[in-house]
Amino acid sequence: MLKLTPEGCHARRQRLIDSVEADVYVINDPRHIFYFTGLFITPLLLSAWGFNALLIERKSGRTTLLAQEMLGGQAREAYVDEVVLYRWYDVSVLTTPDSFGAGVAALDAQIKASGARMVGYESGWLPHGVSITNGVDLNVRLIDMRRRKDADELALIREAVRVNGAGHRAARAAIQPGVSEIEVFDAFHSAANLAFGEAVHLMGDFVSGDRARRGGGLATDRRMSAGEVMIVDAFPIVNGYRADYTATIAVTPDVTANQRRLDVALHEALAAGEAMLKPGTPARDVYAAVRARLDEHGFAEYFTHHAGHGLGLGHPESPFFVPSSDQVLLAGDVVTLEPGAYGSDFGARIEHNYLITETGCERLSQHETALIP
């Protein structure tokens, strides 16, 4: 199974140390603990739902992972110098029913023992009850760091793209009159699980008929009819990283004329946006290119969301393809483009994933996006 590498995790920790002045850095966001240590705990496991923290010393670079005792085996596989386990419940012994409180107390003790005068922390993630007199917020720096993907991150994103592709092929094959949205979701999920080799955490929009005209939602027991379309916008978490791409699929070929016109418009809009993907391009210009092509076909007023966004440990994340964005594309960004439009008798969205290279872009996703292949 692909994993983040020790070298990649160490390099990311060093970049943090080099860019933010603090004596110790306290990381509480589980995605960032993974980013710096390689410890990914799928949310499908009970052990994922607990309190963990990572402490990085600036002077020595020494890392300490603080984790709940139930996570002991996995924590010891992380790329850190020390693992400290706090006890609340280990299946056989209950110390306290308050797992979060036990973790906060353990973290507070670790910070005090470090003697740090300046602590870097993640606002929004540092829990109440931890004593910090002088601190510096790491949020903006971490957002910036995550944009340029390292080689080990790209390997995991490519794997997520591959797994997502297997699901998309299965979903397209399953869509036909009388089949329910949840059955298509199940076909997608099963194919993704088999492609990956273990259970995948699958999220996404699986909507058909009048629900497709509203753009998104969870799969239901609604059954599809001839002449309708289904939007399949899936974003599984595979080894901690995301792929996120979309197809709109005709249940039968006899869709409305507007739906066919929209399919042409979406593909032209996607191509217009793709032509803009290179380092230095303002994100708002990518949005403008996508919207302009939809406007040429009369669909711009029905385009009600972003033209795409960044992708990686989460999504949507920087950069954001919206009119108000002042961000510019960087080599190493992984992004999506997703033009869509939704009206009284039509609704569709398509989406691909891209790596921004030094000279342009590489399209990562290769799934079928035609309404009627």
Residue 121 and residue 171 share a domain: no
Q: Report which of 160, 148, 151 is spatially closest to residue 1, judged by C-alpha positions.
A: 160
In a domain, 81, yes or no: yes
Q: What residue numbers bound the domain in which 325 lies?
A: 151-363
Give a yes or no: residue 99 inside a domain: yes
The pair of structure tokens assigned to 329 is: 């594309």
Q: Hey, what amino acid is at 23?
A: D
Cα dihedral sign, 44-45-46-52: negative
pLDDT of residue 56: 98
Separation of alpha carbons 44 and 283, rounded Å? 35
* Distance (Å, whole) CA 209 – CA 188: 19
- Please tell me the distance from the alpha carbon of residue 373 to that of residue 229, in angstroms, as a whole number: 13
CB atoms within 10 A of CB 60: 8
Q: How far is CA 233 from the centre of its chain?
A: 13
On whether both 140 and 228 belong to a single domain, the answer is no
Q: How many domains does the chain have?
A: 2
Which CATH number do you get for residue 170? 3.90.230.10
117 plus 248 within the same structural domain: no
Q: Read off the tokens for 249.
A: 């699929």
pLDDT by residue (tens digit) across 18-72?
A: 999 999 999 999 999 999 999 999 989 887 878 999 999 999 999 999 999 889 8
Q: Residue 56 domain-assigned?
A: yes
Task: With respect to residue 53, please indicate whether it lies within any of the assigned structural domains.
Answer: yes
In this prediction, residue 90 carries a pLDDT of 78
Q: Nearest-5° angle of CA 84, CA 239, CA 198?
A: 105
Residues 156 and 304 in one domain: yes
* 372 within domain boundaries: no
| Residue 110 covered by a domain | yes
- Count, residues in the chain: 373
Q: pTM for the whole thing?
A: 0.96
The answer to whether position 1 is within a domain reads no
Q: Is there a single domain that holds both residue 13 and residue 114?
A: yes
Per-residue confidence (pLDDT) for residue 248, from 0 to 100: 98
Distance CA 148, CA 320 (A): 15
Domain end position, chosen among 86, 114, 146: 146
Last residue of a domain, one of 146, 171, 197: 146
Question: Which is it for strands 245-250 and 229-234: parallel, antiparallel or unpaired?
Answer: antiparallel
How are strands ordered across the β-sheet holding 361-363? 317-320, 308-310, 334-337, 352-356, 361-363
What local confidence, expressed as pLDDT, does residue 313 receive? 97
**Pairwise CA distance, residues 4 & 7, whole Å:** 9
Q: Return the structure tokens found at 109.
A: 């003790």
CA distance linking residue 88 with residue 69, whole number of Å: 7
Q: What confidence score (pLDDT) does residue 48 get?
A: 80
What local confidence, expressed as pLDDT, does residue 373 receive?
84
Shared domain for 48 and 195, answered yes or no, is: no
Asked if residue 243 and residue 198 are part of one domain, the reply reads: yes
CATH classification of the domain holding 106 = 3.40.350.10
H runs (alpha helix) in the chain = 6-19, 30-37, 72-75, 99-114, 139-147, 151-174, 181-196, 257-274, 283-296
Distance of CA 91 to the CA centre of its chain: 32
CB 238 within 8 A of CB 159: yes
| Whether residue 205 is found in the same domain as residue 125 | no
Q: Which has the closest alpha carbon to 289: 311, 246, 321, 324? A: 321
The pLDDT tens digits of the residues spanning 271-306 come to 999 999 999 999 999 999 999 999 999 999 999 999
End position of a domain, from candidates 146, 168, 186: 146
177 and 317 together in one domain: yes
**Does one domain contain both 168 and 237?**
yes
Three-state DSSP at 58 gives: coil
Q: Specify whether 167 is located in the same domain as 91.
A: no
Contacts of 97 (CB under 8 A, 6+ apart): 88, 89
The answer to whether position 368 is within a domain reads: no
Domain identity same for 295 and 220: yes
Cross-strand partners of 86: 68
Determine the pLDDT at residue 67. 95
Q: What angle do CA 37, 47, 83 make, to 5 degrees?
A: 40
pLDDT for residue 215: 95
Grouped pLDDT means (10 residues each) for the chain, 373 residues: 95 97 97 97 85 95 94 94 92 87 94 95 92 93 97 98 98 98 98 97 97 97 98 96 98 96 98 98 98 98 98 96 98 98 96 98 98 93
